[in-house]
Amino acid sequence: MENFFAEYRTIIVFLHVLSGVVWVGGMVAMRYAAHPSFLEIESPAKRLERIAHALKNLFTIVVPFVIVLLITAVVMIMGYGLSHSEHAILAHAKEALWVVMALNLFAMIYRRNKAQKALEKGDFVLAKDQLGLIGKIMVPLNIALGVIAIFLGASLSGSL
C-alpha cells in the first residue's frame, strides 16, 4: 500500500479534498443560498415540494463523494502509516467526524424520503415536520462538523 500511495499520492489527496469540498460546499449552498430563496414561494405545497426535490438532487450528488472521501481516507491512513504515528489522534478524530456526518446524512435521506411520501399523500404537516429538522439542525450540524474535519485536515497536511 505504501508504494501504491507514493505513486498516486497527488491524485488521492486531490480526490479527498475535492470530496470534502463538494460535500461541505454543497450543504452550504443548499442551506444558505437556495433555502432562503425557496422560502419565498408562497404556496406551502409547492415550497415543500421544491425543497424535497432540491435535497434529493443534493444527496444524489454528495453520496458518491462521501464514499470517495472514506476510500481516500483509508488509503492515506495506510499510506502515511497514520495509526502508528504521532498523528493517530487527529486521524481518529477525523474518522469519528466522518462516521457522525455519514450517519447524519443517511438520517436526512430517510427523513426526506418520508417527507416525499407524505407530500404525495397530501400530508403537508408531516412533510414540513420531516424537512424542518433537516434545515434547522441536521444540515448546519454537518456543515460545522465538516469545517472541523477540514481544519484537522489542514493541520495534518501541514505536519506530514
Contacts with ligand HEM by CB under 6 A lie at 13, 16-17, 20, 23-24, 69-70, 73, 76-77, 80, 91, 94-95, 97-98, 101, 146, 149-150, 153-154, 156-157, 160
SS3 call for 89:
helix
Q: How far is the CB of 130 from ligand HEM (least distance, A)?
A: 24
Element (H, E) at 73: helix 44-79
Q: How far is the CB of 114 from ligand HEM (least distance, A)?
A: 25
Which CB sits closer to ligand HEM, 13 or 58?
13
Q: How far is the CB of 118 from ligand HEM (least distance, A)?
A: 30
SS3 call for 40:
coil
Which CB sits closer to ligand HEM, 59 or 98?
98
Q: Please provide residue 89's backbone torsions phi and psi, each rounded to the nearest 5 degrees.
A: -65, -40
Residue number of the CB closest to ligand HEM reads: 153
Nearest to 112 by CA among 96, 128, 92: 128
CA distance 140 to 27: 8
Asked if 73 and 153 count as a contact pair (C-beta separation under 8 A), the reply is no
Which CB sits closer to ligand HEM, 45 or 67?
67
